[in-house]
Structure 1
Amino acid sequence: MDRIPLGRRHFLKGAATLGAAVAAASTLPGCGSLIGKRNTFDISLAQWSLHRRFFSGDASPMDFAAITRQEFEIGGVEYVNQFYKDNLSDALVQDLRQRADNEGVRSLLIMIDGEGALGAPTEADRKQTVDNHKKWADAAHALGCHSIRVNAQSQGSYDEQRERAADGLVKLAEYCEPLGLNVLVENHGGLSSNARWLSQVMETANHPRVGTLPDFGNFTINRETGESYDKYQGVRELMPYAQAVSAKSYAFDAQGNETSIDFHRMMDIVMAVGYSGWVGVEYEGDRHSEAEGIILTRDLLRSIKG
């Protein structure tokens, strides 16, 4: 999936404003979801949804594509680098690609953690972090992915962090551009969970390969103080730059609705900007088993899709 051209961003900003009106209208008495059956999206599976199974050794990360297709009937996968970092090689990547091809599963992106801060205070440290990410970009390219998902950690004042994060993202995007890869930032704690700040990072970076991966649930800015950003407003502000979406879920009621996130409202916001890409199931709760949580999230998305 190609990155949205910069000119398109300004159109999408207007669409996002319209989306706010759409989302507000959908909450009025007598008004149901405005998605209806006019929009479409594909459903993928984030590997983190099965982190307990993989970390415990109950399943091999090499079987992720097979599990995704055979157990959950899902056709797209989002890898997590933590499960492959100890033995990453060209042979391993080719094996993963072959397994995905055998199952008819699309490899979409790699979520990268633990490789340094792209917004590090010094230019040298930012360059080192970019270098650390290159092997994962190469792997994503070999897998046939459209993106890598990165973090925008930084230090300093609000403005300093914006400038530093944008600089690191652009440096990485310059490496990824010839590979046909997008560099997507997830709201993932700290200032990155402040959607206004992250939107400003996107504008400062101003690069056609730099975008966002809005996550429905990661809007806690400071765990110690409890400071958080409104999740619906946050997704609304990040969608104009989105090239992937994470449907984070934690728990469900007897009717199959997520108990802390209004998925219908969220998907109205997602669809309001014309998004028609992949929406990743990312179950992170403990009330249901991993398999149950994945199925509940998948089925809720399917019901919204119509």
Structure 2
Amino acid sequence: MKAIVLEQVEGQTQATIKQADLPAAAAGEVLVDVAWSSLNYKDALAITGKGKIIRNFPMVPGIDFAGVVKHSNDARYTAGQEVVLTGWGVGENHWGGLAEQAQVKSDWLVPLPAGMSSRSAMIIGTAGLTAMLCVMALEDAGITPESGEVVVTGASGGVGSTAVALLHALGYKVAAVTGRESTHDYLLKLGASRIMPRSEFAETRPLEKQIWAGVIDTVGGNVLAKVLAQTNYSGCVAACGLAGGFDLPTTVMPFILRNVRLQGVDSVNAPFARRTAAWARLANDLPESFYQTATTEIALEDAPKVAADFLNNAIQGRTLVKIR
């Protein structure tokens, strides 16, 4: 199969497009002909070697993919069935989706939702699934469109873009936080009602004026501390990222004085039932306009070059990778 293969040479990660052979299938594994994958921030770190993502070489990156089952050792999946995979360490410690084939544990797969193509599934990808899980976390906390305004931080990225589109489609009033003025028109097209510069979130006090009924935060650090201090009484903050740092310079004040809920959201190890529910919601709730507005399509051969753009903050929306 053709694949991006990461190897370490003299301490440096090298990404090469080459032919590679998958190992023999083990019990319970499924062989998938990959049609589409995507580039995520974690993929960019792995391909460029800028992050400690890959521990064992050689490795095929790609934390998500969609395609068709070629052979299955599990009765739940049959040849010709369309499937999607996100998470589970695929593309990190198990060969991933930036290849013509992938061989994975059947428990990691999800049947492609009815009415969704494999191409659309990878426009959504890991980022979109994470965004949907964040929206569901706000809903579980009782945050409705009538509760008030919801803010999305890191809004021009993959998770943020999908979250803005989803929230708008569900009737929420959405504020978008971004560090790039060039993305303002893009975010307004996705459904943001107003844009706020990230610079306004650099400093915070233990408590500030109550503004947000809900928050989807992809940034962490000072930005997360700021939105916590601004969240309404009984509001909810769904935190899923650390692009701005993994520290949290806050106090207990929002939690014990305003009853604020900080809900962590993880898509890597999300259980099957939660995943399938999220994918079904994405198939129904994500507007068709999102797929055109938020997508840049590239070929597999272009992925190593484009990966560097992620680290230079030059990517907006979703980067779709055509495998076949």
If the length of structure 1 is used for normalisation, what is the TM-score?
A: 0.28
User: Which is richer in helix?
Assistant: 1
Q: Which has the higher contact order (CA 8 A, sep 6+)?
A: 1
Higher strand share: 2
